[in-house]
Structure 1
Amino acid sequence: MTTSFRARESVSAPIPEVFSPTVSAKKAQSQLWVKARFDKIVSGCEILADLATIVAAVLCAYFAYHSLQLGKRIQYSPTAVLGVAFAFACVGVWLLERNGAYRRDSSLLRVKETERVLRVSSQVFLAAFSITFFTSYLLSRWMIVFAFLLVPVFLIAEKQFLIRAIRALHIRGYGMRKVVLYGAGPTGRRIFSVLVRSPKLGLDPIAIVDDELARIGTTIFESSYRPRRSAAVLAGPLTQELLWQYDAEMVVIADPSISRDRFSEIAKEAIAADAAISFVPQHFAPSDYWINYMNLDGLLLASFEGPKSRSSYDYSKRFVDLALSLALLLLTAPLLLFIALIIRITSSGPALFVQQRVGQNGKLFMLYKLRTMHTDAPPYAYSPKTSADPRITPFGQFLRRTSLDELPQLLNVIKGEMSLVGPRPEMPFIVEQYNWLQRQRLQVKPGITGLWQLSADRNFLMHENIEYDLYYIRNRNFSMDLAILLHTFVFAARGV
């Protein structure tokens, strides 16, 4: 950084605080030392926190087991209890590491982190439960059950606290790299949103540059539903001087259609400003979801494979869908009747809205919803992007914020037309416009909730958020389904 900083002295740009004369040399040196090792420090703290959290959860499980006096009351010495708790913790942390929990990446709306915790907890539970059958060591099964229930809760809460702590450190300037985005199109907007929502990445999008006149001066928000963070689009070109002005450490070329010459120009400016370069590939293959690579005598050949059938998972999921939907429908029946009455009182027309949608393999079905729009609204049109749409009734705004309007779709799940978790079903006129990649959404049953609903990117059309659906379709399992359901309840409770 020394060479690049000397070059910056001739530019009339604000001097970074770390080099300001008002900041002591010791503080500047400390900040640079922490910044260089921030990722390792955070990973180490996260591992220690996970160890302590699992130990605490197992100890709480032990005390709960003794307090409730369930089963045979097996007495353990304090040393034995701590030994069991530490063994649980070591195995749990090892499995978390094997599942990529300590990698620095975006975790798909934190659902992936929750899914990891649930999967690892299940693996440790099965291993511990097996010990009680195949060894003579007296380990209470009730204690294992309590630990299985408490460990995920403790870990999820701890990781939420760590995310807040990391964000607080970033605000104070620790471990954050300043990023300038080039390209304010759909890809650039999505990258901006992901970087803002993923503090673990440590990448701060401080500016967005674009050469297209129609985009210059517009404002990009983190989300239309959560506009907590925004950035104005600056006029291009992206130059070395502009990168120096913002003290940028990374340039992200977020325009997949950029020409090779323009790419080379931006790369040249970034290198001159001593900034790292990242870019989105031109041929859109979302995280290589179904792309396999073959080496043909030095030539890399990419092949596309569709989603694979998972018969055992699908049959088991159908059983769970049916059981949960019947239970939820019985529990929410009084609430549904009450909401239907309010809809009839506050606006003219039926309480139930029925609309044709496209399901698995392109099969048409009738989807049920509680009516949230006026009856004179077109029945088949693009869904409202915001709750301020004039087509939505005042009470309908509340129903949409809390997702209560989706409850009648439990009937669709019972009928086998939908699942609790999956890609959202769309209307036929939208599906007719699908390209080959978007049609992969139709390979599985549509769901009441999914990653798209949790993304807060509902200002985009569902099929424009294709990476969420493709990720789910390829990686679907019970742990992910449960994680999505848990996040959905939190999402609905917040009313966003």
Structure 2
Amino acid sequence: MKRISTSHIVTLILVVSDVAAFVTIWFSMYYLRDYLAQVGIVSRPLNPIRNYVLALQVYLPLWLLCEWYHGNFDHQEKLTGLNQLSRILKTFIAGLVGSLAFAYLFKQWDIGRFVLLSTSFLYFLWLYFSRSLLKAWKQAMVMRGVGVINVLVIGVGRTARHVMDRIVNHPEGGYKLVGFVDPNPRRALRSLQGYPVLGTTRNLVRILQEHPVQQVFLAVPKMPQNEMMNLIVQCEDMGVQFKIVTNLFEVITSQVRVDVIDEVPVIHLRNAELPFIQAVLKRALDIVVASFLLVLFAPLMAGIALAIRLDSKGPALFKQVRVGKHGKLFEMYKFRTMYVDADPYAPAPTDPNDPRITRIGKWLRRYSLDEFPQLINVLKGEMSMVGPRPEMPFLVEQYEEWQRRRLDVKPGVTGLWQIVGRKNLPLALNLEYDFYYIKNQSLFFDIVILLKTIPAVIFGKGAF
């Protein structure tokens, strides 16, 4: 059974306390307004309390959603007071506008403006007070040595020394320097300004196993791409956060958060895993879209199958082994676009006049109609509507360690490679687009890609 972390407990406390505060403020303002009517300070009486109970079921989730969207539950980020207030103000504005919109839409409840506006303002004060209290408590705990983050710095140059100075001279930031890792195995450094050099990057996994490290800071401005990517993967596999001291590293194009240790900006590469709710919604979107397209284009697919059979000998459908999520092999379906004697695992055609392609195949490939049968793979759960390009096993065998991150998600019928350049792009660029999608995936992003795929397919952009 997975252990519940302190971070999850703090998040739960924030959510529960916010719910309790909102409900308390909501009904307190109702009874205050009702009392003002009873003593004659205001003339118009309020509607029955049951209207406000019903309305609470709309307004409370609305405010919680605004809080989540603007990061008010993300207590692990080290925010300045100004940044924290900015988030709370954005939540207040979004919540107030949403509340007024709902009041207009649900006029039958007739929610009083006094209750609505006073609740919004008092809840804003609650958010500011509760988050300020949490921040003060965390700083007090850090000064007592509780909740301190152990940091390992890769590098021994000027950038690494600058990071060390800021960590050592600002203990209130909550970081503790464990030591350094030297990227150059030919040096024989044992220590750096009193802190141990624990080894080289070749020994990073062993170092992480032997020392309690929560974060690794890369402070080597000109590290080769492959070496850097392998370090990132090793840290992710060990459950250690990997941060890059700017200059910015762009190759993995992940979701990033800029943290600041005093005046030192560092980049936090976030995990690619999709949240549970979004993963469920993504699967639901896959099933709905794939089913709809299969029904809508069933006559067209039947016509394509007939045309293939009339154009050349062989079956209309073509099956090929591809690599799916976590390296699992599956048979991907496509309409056959090449002659039956062509090697299905030979390099893909790079020329529209490739002699292996049939006459009808040229047309199918240009408009990506040969990929329609992949919708069956989507329904079977082997593919998603949006994801990286499904790859052949012999190519995956040549992947370096960091490139295997493409297998963290299901391959897709379409993706960024489909809408940006499709088959015009070299493999390296296709990989970069795949990594960008993996690290930035969301339900909204999937919908955008699906919509942008339509003109790319209609106009045959970059395909052959």
Q: Provide TM-score, normalisation by structure 1.
A: 0.43
Q: Which has the larger radius of gyration?
A: 2
Q: Provide TM-score, normalisation by structure 2.
A: 0.45
Structure with larger RCO (C-alpha < 8 A, sep 6+): 1
